[in-house]
Amino acid sequence: MKYQDFYNDSLSDREFFWRKQAWSVRWFDFPDKILTQNAQGFYRWYEGGKLNTSYLALDYHIENGRGEQTAIIYDSPVTDTKLKLTYSELRDKVAKFAGVLKGLGVEKGDRVIIYMPMIPETAVAMLACARLGAVHSVVFGGFAAHELAIRIDDATPKVLLTASGGKEIERIVPYKPIVDAALEEARHQPDACVLFQRDFVTSDLKEGRDYDWNELLAKATPADYVPVDAHDPLYILYTSGTTGKPKGIVRDNGGHAVAMKYSMEYVYGVQPGDVYWAASDVGWVVGHSYIVYAPLIHGCTTILFEGKPIKTPDAGTFWRIIEDYKVKLLFTAPTAFRAIKKEDSEGIFHKKYDTSSLESLFLAGERCDVATLEWLKGLLGVPIIDHWWQTESGYPMISNMMGVEMLPVKPGSACKAVPGFDIQILDPEGKNCDTNIEGAVAIKLPLAPGSLPTLWNNDKRFRESYLSRYEGYYLAGDGGYKDEDGYIFITGRIDDVINVAGHRLSTAEIEEVLASHPAVAECAVMGIKDDLKGQIPVGLVVVKSNVRVSPPQLEKDLIQMVRDKVGPVASFKRAVIAARLPKTRSGKILRKAMRYIADGQEFAMPSTIEDPMVLDEIRHLMEKSKIGVAFG
């Protein structure tokens, strides 16, 4: 099959194309209509269809002879634990825990927040929610109490699921104090909090609110799957917004199931029974799509890894897992391999293991630099595929298609648009940019099935954030360009959301924390290039004129505040005092210009700048403070 023919078919008759893809999953009632628009004018897929995602991921395979196949491999070097669950074993655990949730009053449409580490119980909890038609919202365990509280208030969950703690390389992270602090701050209070006790850290339970996971499980009756409408939400996943308040990305059941099956077959080119490993976390969209849902819906064996690419115990961990479990495809962020390369640039650890089962390596989360891509290519001798997508899309929008036709790789490009996504590069007036001219990445509506239909309880913000800039288009928020062969190059964010090791974080959110310090008059946070994490946040703060501070102590205090309020995931480690910040005449801080200075890029002086001399001051300050690649 030729890529271009497949792509053309997806756009020339969308309904025919996506009707055909819909037949690849088992519906209880096949959709009456493939593509519709609702009262708000938003596109929706598969109206009238009924299905259940948990059934598709588990019961369907058992009914078709895969019950004894391994569904999940749990490998935790941080706790020295390994476990395998067959499809039958996993289905039984999911049905039993669905019974726990049902016993707590959880029904179709209710929300459940999951604040847990990378353990099998987390995947069980997600699938149990899906079994009941409840809507789960997984919150990454690295987030602080304030961030968890925001999500509790927005999702208004009936139940909160957590664990006593997580384990990092050299430390234990108790979760219960964070949960308690979040519930103390949150206006909404769930009916119950269910806690899974881990053997290396235990937590006290609050009587009347908190319940022990295993005690409830022992008394539960297994629950059957509940048919849901295609348009019913499967989950909410919060992603950073430029206002500092996270956006609740909604994923529906019908389009999501079709998209997961479609992407496994055509983008990743894997077959049922293959071992598929996405080295990510279930707190992020990659973990939702490619640790839990897509591999199981497709009938693969998926790996749940609780560890790091290095120091658990060494830089050979990834290669060990590939050898142990005969991994066919690995999907992770470039950050992981930058860390491995830093520790083992000669690939000595790789030589200790047999990775011949690996047929392809997919990278996403942030753009893969050419040096890392070439290093991996030389080390592994398999296709290294840098592909691009977002929390909002739920699966790849630009990628080489392993299940269609492998196109030549162009370092720096994520290749061409995945069939179903009509991706254009637009100038400020909404016209298509010429070849090799950078513009805004925009996708012509409708988006393919599986993409967000709206934001949780916020149609207005959905329209304003994504649909208002260009009529008839979804604004991706990234800049990019197409070359003469139609390859798409993503150049970076066009808003103030930064990408730290694949984790999208709002600069506005960090600024709110810095501004709350009594000594800070105003501040700006920008993401600058970092060889390991892709981007890291740096803060420039202006101190109140009537306050005397010790710059090192202020920096230390601000770093701790961000760690407490946003979490260690922000990687915030620099806060430098500036005399003033560059602004437009209307008062907008010129973060982009400062980022260009730090990254050593040339840029045109903004015509709206209030005082051009301020940028020179910032340049000297950055040089003196050694901020950015331009100054070491």
- The mean pLDDT of 233-262, rounded to a whole number, is 89
pLDDT tens track for 14-40 = 999 999 999 999 999 999 999 999 999
Distance CA 46, CA 257 (A): 11
Q: How confident is the model at residue 632 (pLDDT cuts 50, 70, 90)?
A: low
pLDDT tens track for 557-589 = 999 999 998 888 888 999 999 998 888 654 568
- The mean pLDDT of 289-317, rounded to a whole number, is 96
Start-to-end Cα distance in the chain: 48
Q: Spelled out in words, what is the top-level CATH class assigned to the domain 497-631?
A: alpha beta
pLDDT tens track for 604-614 = 776 557 788 88
Judge contact between 510 and 537, C-beta under 8 A: yes
- Comparing 495 with 378, the larger pLDDT belongs to 378
Which one-letter DSSP state was computed for residue 485?
T
Judge contact between 544 and 534, C-beta under 8 A: no
Which one-letter DSSP state was computed for residue 570?
G
Written as six digits, the tokens of 272 are 């049922």
Distance CA 465, CA 442 (A): 12
pLDDT of residue 496: 63
368-394 exposure pattern, b = at least 16 Cβ within 10 A, e = fewer: bbeebbebbeebbebebbbbbbbbbbb
Neighbours of 281 (CB within 10 A): 23
pLDDT tens track for 75-105 = 999 999 999 999 999 999 999 999 999 999 9
Q: Using the predicted structure, report yes or no on whether residue 508 has a pLDDT greater than 80.
A: no
pLDDT tens track for 398-434 = 999 999 999 999 988 999 999 999 999 999 999 999 9
Distance CA 225, CA 99 (A): 11
pLDDT of residue 625: 87
Residues 6+ apart with CB under 8 A from 485: 410
pLDDT of residue 71: 98
Would 85-226 and 497-631 be classified into the same CATH topology?
Answer: no
Residues 6+ apart with CB under 8 A from 434: none
Distance CA 163, CA 186 (A): 19
Distance CA 603, CA 478 (A): 18
Q: Using the predicted structure, report yes or no on whether residue 495 has a pLDDT greater than 70.
A: no
- Comparing 528 with 474, the larger pLDDT belongs to 474
Q: Using the predicted structure, report yes or no on whether residue 630 has a pLDDT greater than 80.
A: no
pLDDT of residue 335: 81
**High-pLDDT (> 70) share of the chain, %:** 96
Q: What's the CATH architecture for 85-226?
A: 3-Layer(aba) Sandwich (3.40)
Distance CA 318, CA 305 (A): 10
Distance CA 547, CA 536 (A): 28
Q: Using the predicted structure, report yes or no on whether residue 10 has a pLDDT greater than 80.
A: yes
Q: Using the predicted structure, report yes or no on whether residue 163 has a pLDDT greater than 90.
A: yes
pLDDT of residue 438: 86
- Can you give the residue ranges of every domain in the chain? 85-226, 497-631
Q: What is the DSSP string of 141-184?
A: TTS-HHHHHHHHHHH--SEEEEESEEE-SS-EEESHHHHHHHHH
- The mean pLDDT of 100-121, rounded to a whole number, is 98
Residues 6+ apart with CB under 8 A from 478: 440, 441, 490, 491, 492, 493, 494
pLDDT of residue 612: 83
Q: Extract the runs of DSSP E, i.e. beta strands, from 241-288.
A: 247-252, 275-278
What is the overall mean pLDDT for the chain?
92
- Whether this prediction's pTM lies above 0.85 is answered by yes
Least confident piece of the model among 236-240, 243-247, 514-518: 243-247
Tell how far CA 17 is from the center of its chain. Answer: 27
